[in-house]
Amino acid sequence: MMRQFELLERVKAYDPAADEDALNRAYVFSMKAHGAQLRASGDPYFSHPIEVAGILAEMKLDAASIITGLLHDTVEDTVATLEDIERLFGPDIAKLVDGVTKLSRLELQSDQTKQAENFRKLVLAMSEDIRVLLVKLADRLHNMRTLHFLKDEERRRRIARETMEIYAPLAERIGMHEMKDELDDQAFAELHPDARASLMARLSFLREKGEGLAERIIDELQETLTKGGLSAEVSGREKTPYSVWRKMQRKNVGFEQLSDIMAFRVVVDTVEECYQALGVIHSRYPVVPGRFKDYISTPKPNNYRSLHTGVIGPERQRIEVQIRTREMHEVAELGVAAHWVYKQGAPRTEGRQYRWLRELLDILEHASDPQEFLEHTKLEMFQDQVFCFTPKGDLIALPRGATPVDFAYAVHSVVGDTCVGAKINGRLAPLRTQLANGDQVEVITSKAQTPSPTWERFVVTGKARARIRRFIRTQQRQQYLDLGRAILQKAFRHEGHEFAEKALEEVLKRFNCDSVENLFVAVGEGLATGR
């Protein structure tokens, strides 16, 4: 367990201006608050917030985030109150702790609706301050590292599934690839222990069989780049068992058919040198067709930038090479945490700056219930990307399999609602056409158009599906409303009375309706009768 001075030294190493007094007070407050509490592992409970703070310090986050990491369980699990936190550490930290505490309370619920509600609250909290998500991810990472100590197998599997379905994709969306890989792999170990053990054994066998192979490939790549006039750092990294397994599932191939389980990174100083390094490698080794991706020219939505290429490299090995600058490498490893720039003394923590987060909030607004929201957002987060362009050249990133209708909704909700047709690369195309990388899409709209229920069969983005479903619900409601009004008018005439909405207000309670409009809808749906 990290001691007080060690945590302080780690934070001060990258942020000399960090509030030393507040960090020390938070450490002591948390230790005293948790007292003699123990974790499932038998360790003092206090070891958990310390480890969470350590993970946040590895990300080089600000002192407020580290303090929140130390305090994040005190309000939920001890006698400490939010008022205590605000009095001792200020409103900013109290707000962060409150955000994480609310999520932890919801997490204790196990059914699907509660999980959906939990995720909805998480999106709202991180839209206010992205640090809530960073602390939550660090909390989840340490819990996954110690998951095997939990005796309840069903609870372990639920936590692992939630990690794989929600937290790992969120880590990826904010560019935190290392954290995403570990979260996925820890969850994989719980959900598919036999598959992971088998892959670990195979990877270990390959390592022994090709002893020194990675080092020889690195040396040859280094020499090739030096001869090409470049000063570059070359490193190699074995892919995680989960990423290997997922690739096998996605491509429906066996382990023996995978040849790029090692990724090699080339880090240079400038963007120009990235392309120069690519030219040197391509002129020296045969290129594997279809494996080149330029994420520098078209970055991923999480701001990941790099050149990826596949080549038949040194010793006739098929390898993947990623080329990036040092700054890009930092962003690739730490994601949003790498952007911890201070503006006029305050960190940029406003979550709404991230387009994908704005889209989740848009889905949140149009989904009818938390479960529908969870369904749409899983769609939104899990898919690979295609990059398309508007006629003006603006880049729109979409999930693979997206159609012109998805594109239209990504441009603007109104454009999606009024879409009647589309031109792809200058040619008229059906609205169900799947878009490809680099397509230029022009959406044709009409004020007379409304969303078609048939669109729901082929759209793939959560935003498009949420808008279409909302329109269908609104349209159905209007039909039920008109039908209900007509039924009641007829009933009034049949009884020889003049129809008056005022008279209906007196019987609303009897039918559990809070307005005359809702009574019309209930009658139209057949949910309310004159019994």
Point out the residues that are catalytic. Answer: 76-77
Q: Which residues pair with 324 in a beta bridge?
A: 267
For residue 288, give both structure tokens: 């594997």
Element at 423 (helix H, strand E): strand 419-424
E-state strands within 176-261: 233-238
Please say whether the beta carbons of 299 and 325 come within 8 A.
no
Helix pair angle (131-145, 91-107), 10° resolution: 50
**Longest alpha-carbon distance in the chain:** 99
Please say whether the beta carbons of 195 and 245 come within 8 A.
yes
Please say whether the beta carbons of 92 and 99 come within 8 A.
no
Strand ordering across the sheet containing 307-312 = 233-238, 262-268, 318-325, 307-312, 293-294
- The gap from C-alpha 128 to its chain's centroid, in whole angstroms, comes to 16
Reference 264, options 227, 206, 306, 217; nearest CA is: 217
Burial group, residue 83, by CB count within 10 angstroms (0-12, 13-18, 19+): exposed
* Dihedral over Cα of 312, 331, 395, 454: its sign: positive
Please say whether the beta carbons of 216 and 175 come within 8 A.
no
For residue 170, give both structure tokens: 């969120």
Please say whether the beta carbons of 441 and 434 come within 8 A.
no
Distance CA 377, CA 362 (A): 11
Please say whether the beta carbons of 441 and 388 come within 8 A.
yes
Residue 368: partners with Cβ closer than 8 Å, 6 or more residues away: 469, 470, 473
Please say whether the beta carbons of 463 and 478 come within 8 A.
no
Q: Which residues pair with 322 in a beta bridge?
A: 265, 308
For residue 199, give both structure tokens: 């892959």
The Cα-based distances of 111 to 115, 120, 163, 349 in angstroms read: 6, 14, 15, 32
Compute the C-alpha angle 324/242/267, nearest 5°: 10
Reference 50, options 81, 74, 75, 71; nearest CA is: 71
